[in-house]
Amino acid sequence: MTMKGSPNWLSASIERSYKAYLALENSDSLDRSLGIKAMAKGINRSFDAILEANTLDLEMSREMAVPDLLIDWLKLTPKRLNKTVEILESLAELPDPIQQVFNAPYRLNMAGTYCQLMPLGVVALVYETFPELGAIAAGFCLKTGNSLLLRGCNSSTHSNQVIADILQSALKETELPTGCLEVLSAEQGASIQDLVTQDQYLSLVLPYGRPSLVQQVTQWATAPVLKSAMGNCYLYWCPTVDIEMVRWVILDSHSSEPDPVNAIEKVLITPNHNSSILVRLFNILQEQGFELRGDERLIEEFKDYLKPVKDSEWNTPYLDKIIAFKMVDNLSEGICWMNQYSSGHADCIVTDSYAQSRQFATEIDSALVYINNSPRFERHLDQGESLFLGVSNQKGHYRGLISLETFTNLKQVVQGQGK
């Protein structure tokens, strides 16, 4: 038997995950949905145990002077846990995505050709705080026939372990294979770098947290990585648009809890903006607790409202209630600036010009484009079947909202009858 903390513990866990994936690939959709329902029930009846463990993590994090941002991400509430249960219950009720069949992009004479969504394989989630994210990712992976390896951060050790124990106990009561959900930690001798270099078994690594974590995992990994993104979203404000729309778009974008994925942190304005209207917006935002910053052109006129912004801040997310304003001469200049400095996952425009909206939609190099609408991110919308784990800004495996289909790939089948 391999002991926890031994050098072979990581390899044993990954091998169990891989064997579980091979079994899940041909598993019954009903069994996988029942497994997700079992996890939801397990979380739902264990709020007290989870919140108690989370309190220990919070106390430990404060003693270690963990940044307030991470403590906010770490702090679980009944509302957050209820949302997790709702997401799992919704996932269980959705149609089986890996049974979807599509027309093939080519045809062969005397043969039937089609494409089918299939599981990716073994997915590794490396996440910073957000303890409930492990449960949500487990639901996404089980629904799509993938096995999951969880590697959380040290500040959420107790919360992660309790949630993982609840999920694994729930899965033991189902027909799903052992190893479909494995949990790794630093205490077991499983470093993040050791995990993300297991490309012979891993099909996908998903890092979730601050940009520094995502960048580090991407540099280490030899397995494919799907980069998630947070913050540093831009808004271009056409001067003829009423301030009420701008106010709503900005404030609503910051209403996503606990992770401000699509929060607008930078606003581009033009010389045609009325100064009194800008002052009204500044006052509104300051009353809502925002810190405001501006470039040199704006500081000269609004030094009582804005603090100077450093050049390095334009391409860096604040992940806090901070908004920086910049003056650009026109939309074309604004688009060029966004394409160079935004995170490229969600950028916005408010305009009453159809021509401007089309120019923005065509020329902006972002995964998600919002026109006269809030970019606010929600994992579980109140209506419909849309469920998302996060947002990716990379070009390659997948770009945009991370949905169930993100955890699948296409198998192309050509079925003939001989000569």
Single-letter amino acid, residue 413? V
- Whole-number pLDDT of residue 416: 83
Cα gap 45→58, rounded to integer Å: 22
- Whole-number pLDDT of residue 396: 75
Beta-carbon contacts of residue 165 (< 8 Å; ≥ 6 apart): none
pLDDT over 70 at 256, yes or no: yes
Do the two domains 9-227+394-416 and 233-371 of this chain adopt the same fold?
no
Please give the mean pLDDT across all residues of the chain. Answer: 92
pLDDT over 70 at 174, yes or no: yes
Q: Using one digit for the tens of pLDDT, what is the confidence trace for 109-141?
A: 778 888 888 999 999 999 998 999 999 999 999
Q: How far is CA 343 from CA 236, 318, 323, 329, 332, in A?
A: 15, 12, 15, 22, 18
| Structural domain spans, the chain | 9-227+394-416, 233-371
83: nearest Cα among 401, 403, 376, 381: 381
338: nearest Cα among 313, 306, 317, 315: 315
Pick the CATH number of 9-227+394-416 from 3.40.190.10, 3.40.605.10, 3.40.1190.20, 3.40.50.10190: 3.40.605.10
- Whole-number pLDDT of residue 384: 56
Taking the domain 233-371, which CATH number applies? 3.40.309.10
The CA-based angle 108-112-116, given to 5 degrees, is: 110
Contact predicate 123/141, CB 8 Å: yes
Q: How far is CA 14 from CA 5, 18, 97, 136, 150, in A?
A: 14, 6, 25, 20, 11
Coil, helix or strand at residue 329: coil
Mean pLDDT (whole number) for 213-240: 95
Q: Residue 13 gets which letter from DSSP?
A: H
- Whole-number pLDDT of residue 10: 86
pLDDT band of 8, cuts 50, 70, 90: confident
Mean pLDDT (whole number) for 9-13: 86
Q: Using one digit for the tens of pLDDT, what is the confidence trace for 372-407?
A: 999 999 898 765 568 999 999 988 778 899 999 999
Tell me the percentage of the chain whose pLDDT exceeds 90.
Answer: 80
Q: What is the pTM of this model?
A: 0.92
Contact predicate 309/277, CB 8 Å: no
- Whole-number pLDDT of residue 5: 47
Mean pLDDT (whole number) for 237-266: 94
Mean pLDDT (whole number) for 11-27: 92
pLDDT band of 3, cuts 50, 70, 90: very low
The owner of tokens 């000569």 is 419
Q: Using one digit for the tens of pLDDT, what is the confidence trace for 53-96?
A: 999 999 999 999 999 989 999 999 999 999 999 999 999 999 99
Tell me the percentage of the chain whose pLDDT exceeds 70.
Answer: 97
- Whole-number pLDDT of residue 419: 65
Q: Which two tokens stand for residue 342?
A: 């935004």
